[in-house]
Amino acid sequence: MPKFQIAVLISGNGSNLQAIIDAANDPSYPAEVAIVISNRPDAYGVKRAEKAGIKTVVIDHKNYETRADFEVELQSQLTKQAIDLVCLAGFMRVLNAEFVELWRDKMINIHPSLLPAYKGLNTFQRAIDDGVRFAGCTVHYVVPEMDAGPIIMQAVVPIQQNDTKDTLATKIQQQEHKMYPAALSMIAKEKIKLINQKVKFDEVIEQSEILISPKI
């Protein structure tokens, strides 16, 4: 049976891309990375993809007069590969609603907060500044509104008194690298259904433990 074909869109280091590549190296993993696309020529993630022997395309957004022109080329590259799912992994470009609708229910993103809290940028420092006790990350479907699509998976990370934005980022990224490949696997195995814009699962172990921070 052919493996689920994914495209990964990046703009930078590509650590989540590497986590997906590593997972896909297991012959039992149900998906494979068909193409990696970067909007920045200097993104280190491009080197990660090339090292893994994955087709890599750079579409430098600076070479296009409008966002729509950039997205025409992006769509062209994706359709050439018969992609089943688009994965945004540190892709730092806001996509027009028209493009998002082309990939409705077939594009996901990972965001470094417990959505719907802390949409946008600088999530780690904002959580620390607000004095909240938990942060985390979210895998979600992409919709035209930024960081607002149906939630697939979340990881919760306690914020310690001595945490900085850098230490918190490190802890959260460790969870991202576990969670993103796991979410992809569930989608590829058709264990996820979207019903009324909420994600429903088949054959999953649901979390029942109540988390309190600090412990009591």
Active-site positions read: 111
The whole-angstrom separation of Cα 32 and Cα 132 is 37
The whole-angstrom separation of Cα 41 and Cα 14 is 13
HSE of 199, CA atoms in CB hemisphere, 13 A: 21
Residue 66, amino acid? T
Residue 166, amino acid? D
DSSP 28: T
Token pair, residue 69, equals: 């022109």
Token pair, residue 52, equals: 């893994």
Residue 97, amino acid? A
Residue 121, amino acid? L
